[in-house]
């Protein structure tokens, strides 16, 4: 549910902001029957998730959590990545984060009527309530994780996982993110270029 990273990578690659977020909600094969630019975003979202989950830096960050939190490590690390992205935003985009978020929310809400079932409710609420802005602070990040934890089959206070990392582990994982994220940006660009070239060749 690392919405900020997916929005940023969508903007970075000039692909659909909404399509990239739909990847968390639309399952099954492509094409989906949605507009082509939404399908492109869903495709890119899936590639980004696979690359992230299999990257050594991401795996190392997950490994920082002991039982019972490690089983939720993928969810927690994805959210922490949004925290670090917001903390280091200026390294990756010149547009100020508040302006970027407002533009993104406006686009999501504008796309709502063009989706057969409308925008998924979590995305609508995110856009209307500006959830992502809270990720910049550890307290807001913990609250967001608790919100996710409440929706699990067996509810758990996921935010408590953050308290298990000491400052050394926190800084080590943050440094890993700063090594990882530029590689993810390059990967996203390359994958989308290949995808578009393949579409044009058909």
pTM confidence score: 0.95
Residue 172's pLDDT is what? 94
Confidence of residue 1 (pLDDT cuts 50, 70, 90): low
User: Does residue 59 surpass a pLDDT of 90?
Assistant: yes
d(C-alpha 76, C-alpha 159), whole Å = 8
Q: What distances in angstroms separate CA 122 from CA 38, 82, 147, 191, one per listed residue? A: 17, 17, 11, 27
d(C-alpha 59, C-alpha 61), whole Å = 5
Boundaries of every domain in the chain = 3-201
User: Does residue 156 surpass a pLDDT of 70?
Assistant: yes
Residue 202's pLDDT is what? 78
pLDDT tens sequence across 29-48: 999 999 999 999 999 999 99
d(C-alpha 72, C-alpha 1), whole Å = 13
Percentages (nearest 5) of helix, strand, coil residues in the chain? 75, 0, 25
Four-point Cα dihedral 1, 175, 180, 137, nearest 10: 20
């Amino acid at each position: 549910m690392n919405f900020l990273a997916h929005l940023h990578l969508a903007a970075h690659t000039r692909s659909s902001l909404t399509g990239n977020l739909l990847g968390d909600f639309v399952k099954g094969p492509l094409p989906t029957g949605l507009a082509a630019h939404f399908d492109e975003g869903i495709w890119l979202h899936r590639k980004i998730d696979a690359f992230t989950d299999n990257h050594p830096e991401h795996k190392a960050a997950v490994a920082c959590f002991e039982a019972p939190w490690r089983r939720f490590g993928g969810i927690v690390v994805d959210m922490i990545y949004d925290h670090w992205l917001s903390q280091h935003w200026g390294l990756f985009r010149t547009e100020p984060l508040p302006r970027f978020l407002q533009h993104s929310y406006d686009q999501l809400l504008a796309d709502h009527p063009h989706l057969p079932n409308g925008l998924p409710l979590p995305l609508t609420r995110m856009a209307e309530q500006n959830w992502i802005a809270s990720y910049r602070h550890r307290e807001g990040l913990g609250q967001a994780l608790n919100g996710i934890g409440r929706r699990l089959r067996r509810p758990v206070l996921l935010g408590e996982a953050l308290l298990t990392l000491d400052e050394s582990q926190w800084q080590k994982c943050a440094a890993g993110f700063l090594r990882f994220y530029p590689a993810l940006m390059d990967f996203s660009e390359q994958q989308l270029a290949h995808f578009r070239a393949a579409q044009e060749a058909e």
